[in-house]
Homo-oligomer: A and B are copies of this chain.
Amino acid sequence: MSEAIDINVAARKLAKVDNVLILCHKNPDGDTLGSAGALYWALHSLGKKAAVFCSDPIHERYQYMELEQFYDQFEPQYVVAVDIAGTQLFGERSAKWADKVDMCIDHHGSNTGFADQMLLDATAAATCEIMYTLIVTMGVEVTGRMADCLYTGVSTDTGCFKFANTTASTHRVAARLIDLGANLQMLNELLFENKSKERIAVEQLALSTLEYHFEGCCALICLTRDQIAKIGADEADLEGITSLPRSIDGVLVGITMRQQPGGSYKISVRTKVGLNATEIVRGLGGGGHAQAAGCEIFGGLDYAKAAILAEAGKALEGRIPPRQPEKQPAGERQDHAPEG
Interface residues of A (CB under 8 A from B): 53-54, 56-58, 69-72, 93-94, 155, 160-164, 166-169, 171-172, 174-176, 178-179, 184-185, 188-189, 192-198, 200, 203-204, 207-208, 210, 212, 216, 232, 234-236, 243, 246-250, 272-273, 326-327, 329-330, 333-340
**A169 touching B160 in the complex, CB below 8 Å, given contacts A208-B208, A232-B327:** no
Pairwise interchain contact B175-A168, C-beta atoms closer than 8 A: yes
Determine the chain B residues whose CB is within 8 A of the CB of A330 once the complex forms. 234-236
Q: How many copies does the complex hold?
A: 2
Write 22 A-B pairs (CB below 8 A) sorted by A numbering.
Answer: A53-B340, A57-B337, A71-B338, A71-B340, A160-B162, A162-B188, A163-B188, A168-B176, A171-B174, A171-B178, A172-B175, A185-B273, A189-B273, A194-B248, A197-B216, A197-B248, A197-B250, A200-B207, A204-B208, A232-B329, A234-B327, A234-B329
Determine the chain B residues whose CB is within 8 A of the CB of A69 once the complex forms. 337-338
Determine the chain B residues whose CB is within 8 A of the CB of A335 once the complex forms. 56-57
Determine the chain B residues whose CB is within 8 A of the CB of A234 once the complex forms. 327, 329-330
A274 to chain B, nearest CB (A): 12
Determine the chain B residues whose CB is within 8 A of the CB of A94 once the complex forms. 340
With both beta carbons as reference points, the residue of chain B lying nearest to A188 in the complex is identified as: B162
**Which of A57, A174, A198, A216 neighbours the largest number of chain B CB atoms within 10 Å of its CB?**
A174
Determine the chain B residues whose CB is within 8 A of the CB of A336 once the complex forms. 57-58
**A93 touching B232 in the complex, CB below 8 Å, given contacts A160-B161, A168-B176, A172-B175:** no
Determine the chain B residues whose CB is within 8 A of the CB of A71 once the complex forms. 338-340
Instruction: Kindly identify which residue among B194, B248, B327, B339 contacts A249, using a CB–CB cutoff of 8 Å.
Output: B194
**A185 touching B164 in the complex, CB below 8 Å, given contacts A69-B338, A329-B234, A340-B72:** yes
